[in-house]
Amino acid sequence: MYKLKVLAARCFFAVLFLALIEALVGLELVSPLILSRPTAIALALWQETVSGEIPQLFLTTMMEVAIASGIASLVGFIGGYLLWRYERWGVAYETLLSAVFSSPIVLVYPIFLVIFGRNPAAVIALGVVAGFIPIILGMRDGLVGVNRTLVRVGESLNLSRSDIFWKIQLPAAAPTIFSGLRLGLTFTLINIIAVEFLVEIGGLGKMVSAAYLRFQIDSMYAGIGAIILLTTIFVSLSYKLQRRVK
């Protein structure tokens, strides 16, 4: 019942917000060159979907994000484990990684274009670089923050180091690890969309860029709506995965 009330509240405010935008643009209080009416965006989204353009671009971006996220997760989990396992490495590199993570990594996209060429490989590579750092930090911070009492209980039960890690430390660190994973996924998606937009490679970012340059405002916002949907799907999948692990 509570979930239904929350869903109803979300839908109510979403409809209210869209109705407000519709009224503002319809009354010409906001220029249609800045903001489109939701009904016009929905029509453009439907037309682009029926024509097959949005599904194809959606799948392209989704595939790029999935590949980049998978590689970033693998690198991040291994790197985070090593920085936790070898404490000196963790102390030495945590601050450096935090500094790199705080910087706008997307600005180095020309280097990836030189290395990989103007193709989806460059987009995926930049997504990996943007995503694996928060996963490393989340993995290390989660393992470092495990209560030592839990470890001592495992040792008192004569558990091996491997059993203690898999059965005690890793489950205890799971919330922090998944927070880093979601953050890495978010930054992977943001950077992939940004590069697609900047150099018009591949998926939904390319669609938004092309529509923007042609002043097709309805199509531009339709592409943005598809990007929001893609983000919602990946974040929802991360939450479902976390619940399964628990």
The band of 73, judged by pLDDT with boundaries at 50, 70 and 90, is: very high
- Please give the radius of gyration of the chain, using alpha carbons only, rounded to the nearest integer: 22
| Residue 246 confidence (pLDDT) | 56
- Spell out a b/e string for 118-144, using b for 16 or more CB atoms within 10 Å of the CB, else e: eebebbbbbbbbbbbbbbbbbbbbbbe
Taking all residues of the chain, what is their mean pLDDT, rounded to a whole number?
A: 83
Is 129 among the domain residues?
yes
pLDDT band of residue 1 (cuts 50, 70, 90) is low
pLDDT score of 136 more than 90:
yes
Residues 6+ apart with CB under 8 A from 124: 64, 67, 68, 71, 192
What residues make up the domain containing 82? 53-139+174-245
**Distance separating alpha carbons of residues 215 and 112, to the nearest angstrom:** 29
CATH of the domain at 101: 1.10.3720.10
Nearest of 230, 232, 206, 229 to residue 219 by alpha carbon: 206
Q: Write down the pLDDT at residue 74.
A: 93
CA dihedral sign, ordered 171, 176, 179, 181? negative
Q: Which helix (H) or strand (E) holds 32?
A: none
20 domain-assigned: no
Mean pLDDT of the region 103-109: 84
Percentage of the chain lying above the pLDDT 70 cut: 95
What is the structure's pLDDT at 215?
79
Report residue 242's pLDDT band, with 50, 70 and 90 as the boundaries.
low
Check residue 84 and give left, alpha or beta (phi > 0: left; psi -120 to 50: alpha). Answer: alpha
Whether 2 is covered by a domain: the verdict is no
Residue 7 has pLDDT above 90, yes or no: no
The confidence score (pLDDT) of residue 245 equals 59
Q: What is the pLDDT of residues 170-228, one digit of tens each?
A: 888 888 888 888 888 888 988 898 888 888 787 888 888 888 777 778 888 888 888 88
Nearest to 193 by CA among 110, 99, 111, 126: 126
Instruction: Count Cα atoms within 13 angstroms, Cβ side, for 232.
Output: 6
Closest residue by Cα to residue 55 from 193, 235, 191, 207: 207
Q: Considering only 21-25, 93-97, 141-145, 219-223, which range has the smallest mean pLDDT?
A: 21-25
Q: Quickly state the pLDDT bin for 47 (edges 50, 70, 90).
A: confident
Asked whether residue 77 carries a pLDDT value surpassing 90, the answer given is yes
What's the domain count of the chain?
1
Q: Is the dihedral of CA 70, 71, 74, 76 positive or negative?
A: negative
pLDDT of residue 41: 79
Helix (H, G, I), strand (E, B) or coil at 21: helix
pLDDT at residue 71, as a whole number: 93
pLDDT the model gives residue 68: 93
Q: Which tokens hold the place of 100?
A: 């790199």
Nearest residue to 74 via CA among 136, 167, 12: 136
Domain assignment of residue 205, yes or no: yes
**d(C-alpha 22, C-alpha 37), whole Å:** 5
Would residue 33 count as lying in a domain? no
In a domain, 47, yes or no: no
What pTM was estimated for this model as a whole? 0.81
| Domain membership flag for residue 6 | no
Is residue 216 situated within a structural domain? yes
